[in-house]
Every structure is written in structure tokens, then in C-alpha cells.
Structure 1
Amino acid sequence: MARYLHAVSQILVTALTIIIPFAFADLTTTIDPSSNWGTWEGWGTSLTWWAAAFGTRDDLANIFFTSQTVTLNGVSLPGLDFNIARYNAGASSWNTINGTTKMVVSPKMIPSRQIKGFWMDWASTSPSSSSWNWSADLAQRAMLSIARARSANILELFSNSPMWWMCKNHNPFSSDDGSFDNLQSWNYQSHAVYMATVAKYFSDTWSTKFSSVDPFNEPTATWWNGKTGTQEGCHFDVSTQAAVLNHLRTELDSRGLSSTDISASDESYYDQAAKHPAKPGLDRPCQDRLRQRPRLPVRFWPARLRPQPGNTI
């Protein structure tokens, strides 16, 4: 039987070689030292799910945010020395508003991918009111603090979805279709208020200053689906993105965070970000302080690209 299988395999390989001949062309690569694609500021990770589960683990923090050699499960690992940490402002809460309105949860939702949000209801925008719960998301906040105390010197605040009560279907895992906006039009500014308020509170209360705020995650993607989704997510049409970005710039500036950049658009592919059509809809102050954010194809969020003068998005 072994000889038979070996013979068959050789025949298949020969047949495939005949049908699909292999050809290798010479490739010459030339490096142009005069090219300027921006400044590589570092590399890092989005905290989100893993930090929400393991936010108090010093050994993991040392692996990610130091250059030390760390022993984990009996294995010595070199520290990655990440200098970028991205903190996720969650979209979920389990309270009831006015006795009837509750968050809708996708039937396929993975619980570990639900991140607790801070703004519980629409009753008040004041961060000192009972509408806000600043005791939420302790573990992810703990890891952010640890990262900042180690090697992380670039911090970004980002959102996977607006708070659930801002969504059309009250589901922070997107619309039931996935290809339509799930943010209610009257909550465009509310989403901006949420992100700006979180950035301000972290700065004032926990001395954590975010270099940038990213209000979207893969916004033009159509795979966000409230019926089948396993994580928080939200589709945004580009016109909606432009409206939210203008509000966000205003809300950040009004809170004394004019030096905080906006990162957008956090797309899945370079082409989606580079050809982003929302820029013509942005006010001039927002255009001037907008950072391009294409997603690089590696496991951990690796870098922030600072556009140079003359670069477009």
C-alpha cells in the first residue's frame, strides 16, 4: 500500500508539473534613499480583549512593554518593547434605560469580546453625573496604566462601535445587514462627545494622555452584522465618517485637547484608507489634524504613520 501511495503521489506531482509549469522571473529591487513615506514611530498592540482578560498580569506586560527576558510557562521569551498601546473605549453595558430599553446582543457574540463602556445612557453628557460609570473596564485600564509605566509612550484611544444606545438597533455588533450605518443620525455628535469625554477624563483623572483618538474600526467593511457578529463593530458610510470627524475635532478642542490628533480612517486595507473619500467633507481644522490610519498586515498593531506635509488621504 505504501509503495502504491508513493507511486500515485509521484504521478500526481508529475501531472501537476506538466499542467502548471513553474516559472521564476528575475526580480531586481532598487531602494530609493530619497523616498519619504513618513516617520515610523514604533510598534505596539491593541489592548482590548486580551487586556480585558489579563490586565493585571505583570509577566504579560513585561513581554509586551519591556525588552527584558521573561519566563512564561517555563519558556524564556524576549520582551517585545512595544511603545504603542491602543485602548478600546467599549460599547456595551447591561443597564436598562427608562425601564424598557436594553442592549441587544448578537446570538453568536463571544462574551470576551464585549468591552464595557462608560456612558450608560443619554440623560446627561456631564462625566460627573450618574449617566457615566468610570469604574467599568478595570482590567484593560490596569494594563494601559502598566504599559504607560513601562515602554509605551504613544497611546491611542479607539472605538469598535458607538455605545449600544446610540445604535439604530441598540446592538453594538452592527446593523442586521452589515452594509448600512448603525449609528443614529441624531447621535453623530454623541459618539464624538463620548470619545472626547473619555479622552479628557483619562487625562485629568488618571494622568493618561492619548496622542490620538480613532472613532472607527474598519468602518467601510460590510462584515459587521448584528445577527451573526462575534465582536463589537459598526459600519459607517464615508459621509457619516466625515460628519462624526468634524464633531470630534470640535469636542476635543472644546475640552482643551486641541493637541490630540484624530486617526482615521482605520480601514482593513491600504487602498481603502489612501483613497478615503471623506476628506472633502471635513472642516479645515479637522483636515489639518487628521492622521492617516491604514491597517498593516501583521498580528499586533504595529505602527503609527505620521503623514508628512503634502501627503493626502
Structure 2
Amino acid sequence: MSSTRHRPAFPRAPRSRRLYALGAAAALAATAFTAAEPGPAPADAAAPAAATALTVRPDPSYQQPAFEGWGTALAWFANVTGGWPDAQRNALADALYGADGLGFTIARYNIGGGDSPETDPYMRPGAAVPGYWNRPGPEAPDWWDPHRADHWNPDADANQRWWVTAAEARGATTFEAFSNSPPYFMTESGLVSGAVDGGRDNLRADQYDRFAAYLAGSLKRAESATGVTFDSLSPVNEPNTDYWQAGGRQEGSHWDPASQARMVTALRAALDAGGVETPVAAMDETNPGTFRSNWESYAPGVRAAVGRLNTHTYGTDGRTGVRDIAKGEAVPLWMSEVDVGGSVPQSFTDMSPALDLARRINDDIRELEPRAWVLWQAVEDYENMSPGHEDSN
């Protein structure tokens, strides 16, 4: 979810493939025309060969697993619209999750990291998602203790939590919690937007277990507040990238592959210690190619700690490789985040944005074969998406 979104335009099909498609179409058209309009055969033409019978039998033993559904991440738009008047927020919830709307069945809930209260606001609208921590008094080094009740705020993030309950009330059945950044007091930079050097990890080396405790505790409090049981928890987001930088407009954190592996196992251990069976999802990489590179570096024990594979498709190369990893590991695979704003200019009257999205969905389903397909933000801030800014749909 980089602020620039890293959305390359869709490549055109190679010329040879286009010519092949055109040639095949022409051949089919010619065949159809000949069959429909037969002409007299030349006198010296050989007798046509007898048609060969062809029997096609579907193989019911080759089936994909049941598709889990469609959805959206809540995060920024929910952090804003969850606080709107009832009539307005319910109309949006009906449009996305209602039976007469899109009928989404999946919601991804963002566990916020949260900057220091002393930090001047600097993020884009909605991106400052509140964390579940509570600072009861003057801050001391490493003040936060996950075992102290007064260091938690169970009432945090009311707006996004409203959306979780609204989605469930309208039929949503699958919920994932995900993190973009640790809280500010666990970071190197002191900010949840990333390290000063975007190519370096922002979680301090001594904070893995505390961050795992934060995620596990936040999950528990989100479930208690909403009554929803989360199906998975994703600890890192687009980790092996260099665009999460201190002062950026959203939460983000770099994790090199070894750090990802350490975080996955730390979170699995924290959940197990609390008797929580929620699967760990990983690693929500920005594109399939980088996902594969990360995954291939994981030791067998790390892979065993992952209960679902999540990839984004802001880049599209390598979809079939990730598909094959999922099949080989026998682990469910999601396309867990993408949007396509920016690949075509913003327009509310042209069909190009809709066709662009339809092509992305079709290509992802065909090549990646995911169990679910989840949009990034189903509702966006108009001003931020306008042609003078991101020029996105």
C-alpha cells in the first residue's frame, strides 16, 4: 500500500501472441463461414474424409477448492466513515456488504500502530489508525508492558470497529486482522511511517516479542469489542520494499526476509502461548515475484508457522509461481490487496477504470488461482484521488 501505489500500467500482450490470437480468430471465422455457406466442390476434388468422432468427458476429480469470497480492507476509509452519522455510514455498508449491494463477504481489519500523541499530524486522510496501546503517564524508556491492563486501550479504533460489526450484520463471514507498522515506541525512527532510510527495518531488534504480544493482545481486544472471530492475522505488509520512509503519508515498515521470518515465528509463539489458534498469514508482499523470493528464503519451520499465503498484485509477474507454491505447500492463497487507480486517469464517466479493474480481477483469478480476492479501499478520499494528486479511481 505504498503512497504512490507502484501501479505499472498493464503491459500489452507480446506481438507474437496478438498475431496468434488474430490468426486464430480469423481461422475460426473462416471455418464458421465455410460451414455456413458451403459452395460446390471442384469436379476433381478428392472426397472429404469422414469426420472423426470426438468424445469429451469432464473430469470431476480435478476441482479447485471452494472460493472464499470477495472483500475490501477497512483501514483508512473505515477510520473516517465509521464516525459518520448513522444514515450515511449505513448506506455505505449496505452498498458494500448488503444483499442488494456488492455483497462482499470478507473484511480486512487494520490493527493500527499509532504515532506518539506529541507528533504533529502528517498522514493522508484516515491513515492515522489508532493503536490499542494506552500511555497512562509520563513516558519512560520501554514503558509499555503488555501484561499491564492500564497500558491497553480496549476502546480504541471505534470507527473501524463499527465497520466490522456492520459487515458481519450484513452477511460477511471472513475477517482478517493485519498490521502495517509497530507502534511508534517500538520503532527505530519513532514514527510508524517507516525508518529514516526506507530500505532498513524500522522495528527495533529487541522488540520482536513485544510487537508479537501487541498484535496478539490487539486481536483479543478487537474480537471482544466486535464479537467477531478473526480468521487470520497478518503481521507484516509489503515488507521487502524501500518505500516505507519516516514522514510518509501512511503506516509502513520494511522487513528484510530474515526479519519477516523472525516476526512470523514470534507471532505464532505468542498466539500459541495464549491458546489462540488464529492462523498467521504472510507475507502480504507487494507483488508475486517478491513474494516468491521472500518465501524461498524461509526455513521449513517458518513456512510451517504460516497458515495462509497472502500476496498483492501491484506487480503481476510471477503469479503462476506463487500459485504453484500454494499448491505444493497445500496452504490457502489469497490475493489480499490491490487497487488499480493510477493505471488510467480518474474518470466518473469513462468505462476505462472499470475495464481496467475487470481485467486485473480476471488475470489474477486465471493465473494466481487465489481462494479470495480483496480490494484495497472500496471507498476513497476524493481530494486525494483527484487529478492534481494521485489521479486515481
TM band (smaller chain): 0.7 to 0.9
**Given the two structures, how large is their TM-score scaled by the length of structure 1?**
0.75
What is the rounded CA distance, in whole Å, between the counterparts of 1:199 and 1:266 in structure 2?
A: 18
Q: Does 1:25 align with 2:19?
A: yes
Letter in 2 for 1:60: L
Query: What residue in structure 2 maps to residue 92 of structure 1?
Result: 114
**Contact 1:89/1:157 (8 A) holds in 2:** yes
Q: Does 1:40 align with 2:97?
A: no
**Contact 2:76/2:126 (8 A) holds in 1:** yes
Any gaps of 5 or more consecutive residues in structure 2? Answer: 1-14, 26-58, 84-88, 136-142, 316-322, 334-393
Please report how far the alpha carbon of residue 309 of structure 1 lies from its aligned counterpart in structure 2 after TM superposition: 6.0
What is the rounded CA distance, in whole Å, between the counterparts of 1:205 and 1:279 in structure 2?
A: 37
Q: Report the count of equivalent residues.
A: 264
Please report how far the alpha carbon of residue 26 of structure 1 lies from its aligned counterpart in structure 2 after TM superposition: 1.7
**Contact 2:116/2:184 (8 A) holds in 1:** no
Any gaps of 5 or more consecutive residues in structure 1? Answer: 1-20, 69-78, 96-101, 299-304
Cα distance change of structure 1 residues 278 and 103 upon mapping to structure 2, 3 Å threshold: farther
Query: What residue in structure 1 maps to residue 253 of structure 2?
Result: 234
| Structure 2 counterpart of 1:54, from 70, 74, 81 | 81
**Contact 2:242/2:254 (8 A) holds in 1:** yes
What is the rounded CA distance, in whole Å, between the counterparts of 1:35 and 1:240 in structure 2?
A: 38
| Structure 1 counterpart of 2:99, from 67, 70, 79 | 67
| Structure 1 counterpart of 2:126, from 95, 112, 130 | 112
Query: What residue in structure 2 maps to residue 248 of structure 1?
Result: 267
What is the rounded CA distance, in whole Å, between the counterparts of 2:297 and 2:134 in structure 1?
A: 31
Cα distance change of structure 1 residues 239 and 103 upon mapping to structure 2, 3 Å threshold: farther
Alignment identity in percent? 31
What is the rounded CA distance, in whole Å, between the counterparts of 2:305 and 2:194 in structure 1?
A: 30
Please report how far the alpha carbon of residue 92 of structure 1 lies from its aligned counterpart in structure 2 after TM superposition: 1.2
What is the rounded CA distance, in whole Å, between the counterparts of 2:169 and 2:187 in structure 1?
A: 36
Letter in 2 for 1:283: G
Query: What residue in structure 1 maps to residue 289 of structure 2?
Result: 271
Letter in 2 for 1:274: R
**Contact 2:80/2:126 (8 A) holds in 1:** yes
Query: What residue in structure 2 maps to residue 11 of structure 1?
Result: none
What is the rounded CA distance, in whole Å, between the counterparts of 1:33 and 1:177 in structure 2?
A: 53
Alignment of 1:136-285 (within 5 A): 136-227=156-247, 229-258=248-277, 260-277=278-295, 280-281=298-299, 283=301
Please report how far the alpha carbon of residue 104 of structure 1 lies from its aligned counterpart in structure 2 after TM superposition: 7.5
Query: What residue in structure 1 maps to residue 309 of structure 2?
Result: 292
What is the rounded CA distance, in whole Å, between the counterparts of 1:145 and 1:47 in structure 2?
A: 12
Cα distance change of structure 1 residues 235 and 39 upon mapping to structure 2, 3 Å threshold: farther
SS in structure 2 opposite 1:185? coil
**Contact 1:162/1:191 (8 A) holds in 2:** yes
Letter in 1 for 2:289: D
SS in structure 2 opposite 1:43? strand
**Contact 2:280/2:305 (8 A) holds in 1:** no
RMSD value, Cα: 3.1
Bigger Rg over Cα: 2
What is the rounded CA distance, in whole Å, between the counterparts of 2:124 and 2:225 in structure 1?
A: 31
Please report how far the alpha carbon of residue 205 of structure 1 lies from its aligned counterpart in structure 2 after TM superposition: 4.7
Letter in 1 for 2:145: S
**Contact 2:268/2:305 (8 A) holds in 1:** no
What is the rounded CA distance, in whole Å, between the counterparts of 1:159 and 1:196 in structure 2?
A: 11
Cα distance change of structure 1 residues 162 and 282 upon mapping to structure 2, 3 Å threshold: farther
Letter in 2 for 1:280: Y
What is the rounded CA distance, in whole Å, between the counterparts of 1:270 and 1:176 in structure 2?
A: 27
